[in-house]
Amino acid sequence: MDKVLIIGGGIAGMEAAGQLLKLGYEPVIAEKEDHLGGHVAGWHKLFPDMMDASALIEQLASKLDGATVYLRTRVAYMNRLKDGYSVMLSNGTGLVCRAVLIASGFRLFDAAKKEEYGYGVYDHVITNSDLEAWFNGVEDFRVPENPRHIAFVHCVGSRDLKAGNPQCSKVCCMTAIKQAIEMKEKFPDAEIWCFYMDLRLFGKKYEDFYINAQRDHGIHFVRGRVSEVGEDIDGRVVLKAEDTLAGTQVKLKADLLVLMAGMLCNEDTATIASMVRAAVDSDGFMRSRDNIYRINESNRPGIFFAGACTGTKTVPETVAEARAAALDIHNYLSGND
């Protein structure tokens, strides 16, 4: 029975492992954290169906019976053999496999790097990921009890040359609207403000969320990028932006500021890529054979990709890609190519 190494135990790695098991292979997941599920494991609800993130993780985990899962484990090295790869994991396990699936995902932009937004400096500035953790019951002193004004700033560390990431992270627009609605439901008396450059609501039902946010929840949308944030004497955050549609400068004193931190390539990805000499793309993510028909394939034989290691992805895109990658691996290993 063929072993397949899966690097990363997020939703891509889990789904691919489940499918490979069904196809009769022995998947081995190496996950660097102490839990499976990656970023989604820390999320609360997923758009557009508002499904519980934990329900998705449970569903994926229930299909992993028979898979080998190593937690807190990284790839120490990988060498190309004549027909496959010799792998040593950081826990001392060695294995030989003909196919490797890289599902190493993404990392969240460190919002503290945008100093002008005051993350880690002011008392009431959090990120999208902090807010999801708070939805999940994690205590957070930065979220006030009765906020009157809540601000969301889009594109933090995305479409930002100076932050080193010119790409659009694509899921944050929708996440901001989802979180804005959730906050409005928790705090019906609060006014909620979204500061955006462009609203990119490309997916199924995303536009419905936008209309709901406007019509049913009265959420305000201001077209302008926040240029700087300060703190007033009462500890409220003061945002400064231009309302580019009205052509005037605007200021907002908010009780809570949520920064929509973007998605960047994982730091480990370049290390893993260099071990097998897989190509890294100009955006820092892994380079697929092409970005239309062969997203799951690398330029090296037996090395496959799934999920956000090749670029920003939504949850359904990631799961679909993982399934496709499992089939690609099956075809490769059974010589059906």
Partner 1 sequence: MIDFGFGLSRSSAVRLDEVDLSLYKRLEELEPQVRTCIGCGSCSATCTAGPWSGMSIRKVILNLQRGRDIEKMLSNCMLCGKCTMVCPRGINTRHLILSLCRIYEKK
Binding site for partner 1 (CB under 8 A): 116, 155, 159-163, 197-198, 223-228, 240-244, 247, 249-250
By beta-carbon proximity to partner 1, the closer residue of 98 and 223 is 223
- Spell out the residues 6+ positions from residue 261 whose beta carbon is closer than 8 angstroms to its own: 108, 109, 110, 111, 127, 128, 129, 156, 157, 172
Residue 316 host element (H or E): helix 315-333
- Spell out the residues 6+ positions from residue 325 whose beta carbon is closer than 8 angstroms to its own: 12, 16, 101, 103, 296, 304, 305, 306
Among positive and negative, which fits the CA dihedral 37, 39, 44, 45?
negative
Q: In whole angstroms, how close is the CB of 306 to partner 1 at the nearest point? A: 31
By beta-carbon proximity to partner 1, the closer residue of 62 and 248 is 248
Peptide bond into 316 cis (omega under 30): no
By beta-carbon proximity to partner 1, the closer residue of 140 and 232 is 232
Q: In whole angstroms, how close is the CB of 79 to partner 1 at the nearest point? A: 41
By beta-carbon proximity to partner 1, the closer residue of 148 and 225 is 225
Q: In whole angstroms, how close is the CB of 271 to partner 1 at the nearest point? A: 28
By beta-carbon proximity to partner 1, the closer residue of 64 and 226 is 226
By beta-carbon proximity to partner 1, the closer residue of 160 and 281 is 160
Q: In whole angstroms, how close is the CB of 159 to partner 1 at the nearest point? A: 6
- State how far the Cα of 197 lies from the Cα of 210, in Å rounded to an integer: 15
Q: Per the structure block, which two tokens stand in for 145?
A: 């009890």
Written as one letter, the residue type at 61 is A
Closest CA to 101 of 5, 3, 10: 5
Q: In whole angstroms, how close is the CB of 250 to partner 1 at the nearest point? A: 8
Q: In whole angstroms, how close is the CB of 195 to partner 1 at the nearest point? A: 10
By beta-carbon proximity to partner 1, the closer residue of 23 and 197 is 197
Q: In whole angstroms, how close is the CB of 198 to partner 1 at the nearest point? A: 8
The 8-class DSSP code of residue 190 comes to: -
Pairing of strands 125-127, 256-261: parallel
Q: In whole angstroms, how close is the CB of 109 to partner 1 at the nearest point? A: 13
SS3 216: coil
Q: Per the structure block, which two tokens stand in for 251?
A: 């200021």
Pairing of strands 191-196, 106-108: unpaired
By beta-carbon proximity to partner 1, the closer residue of 249 and 271 is 249
